A = this chain, B = another copy of it.
Amino acid sequence: MAKLQKSIDKRNALVKATIELVNNNGFHATPMSKIAKMAKVSPATIYLYFENKQDLVNQTYIEVKAEYTNYAFATYEENMSVEDGFELIWKRIADFKLKECEHAMFLAQCDNTPMIDEPSRIEGIKHLQPLLDLWQRGKKEGLVKPLSDFILYAYAINPLSFLMITQKRGAFQLNESHIEEAYQAAWDSIKVNK
């Protein structure tokens, strides 16, 4: 049992190190040896847990993406009103992007880069379903514009990534009222104008 825990710890340490190093240097500028060192493990050990470097980032991506969506939907319930549900999810996502900044940065880099392979990317998207369902409901109820989910996501959710990166770069500091303003902009962009 202790042995199993130790294994899990090592795996987690590797994933953690991968996120931090890839965030700061990019995928190809992050050597396996550094990941190993940061995880306090031998380079050879990585290959007991992951097939190769690509597999390591793929799995890291999938895990972080799952963590992200889990967080996003943790308090959401399907019987909420569309607007309440959207606000809830949106704010959870904003919360995640700001509080788990490292993880969110990692996702942003993966999503804008040829660094993750296609199957893993698709795997990562799956968990977004509840949001898409909510939008579906919203469209039916005439509250949400009848747009492609891609466009809805582009305007309702994705801008948060830009704001987070900008903040991380130090160009701009997000506070509570910025968040509120951003939420308004998000909702305004997808809601049906009465």
Q: Which of A12-20, A25-33, A67-75, A131-139 contacts B (4 or more CB under 8 A)?
A: A25-33
Describe A's contact surface by its main secondary structure: helix
Is A162 touching B154 in the complex (CB atoms < 8 A)?
yes
Is B26 touching A181 in the complex (CB atoms < 8 A)?
no
Instruction: Please pick, from B158, B163, B166, B178, the residue contacting A159 in the complex, using a CB distance under 8 A.
Output: B158
Is B181 touching A147 in the complex (CB atoms < 8 A)?
yes
Q: How far is the CA of A185 from the CA of B118 in the complex (A)?
A: 29
| Smallest beta-carbon distance A18→chain B, Å | 15
Q: Give A46-62 as 1s and 0s: 1 = Cβ < 8 Å from B's Cβ atoms.
A: 00000000000000000
| Beta-carbon contacts under 8 Å, A142-188 to B | 145, 147-148, 150-151, 153-155, 158-160, 162-163, 165-166, 169, 171-172, 178, 181-182, 184-186, 188
Interface centre among A29, A118, A155, A191 (most CB of B within 10 A): A155
Which B residues are CB-close (under 8 A) to A181?
Answer: 145, 147-148, 151
Interface centre among A108, A151, A169 (most CB of B within 10 A): A151
Is A26 touching B114 in the complex (CB atoms < 8 A)?
yes
- Size of the A side of the interface (Cβ < 8 Å), in residues, is 45
Which B residues are CB-close (under 8 A) to A171?
Answer: 150
Instruction: Please pick, from B23, B27, B166, B184, the residue contacting A150 in the complex, using a CB distance under 8 A.
Output: B166
Which B residues are CB-close (under 8 A) to A160?
Answer: 154
- A120 CB–B CB distance under 8 Å: no
Is A189 touching B185 in the complex (CB atoms < 8 A)?
yes
- A129 CB–B CB distance under 8 Å: no
Is B165 touching A150 in the complex (CB atoms < 8 A)?
no
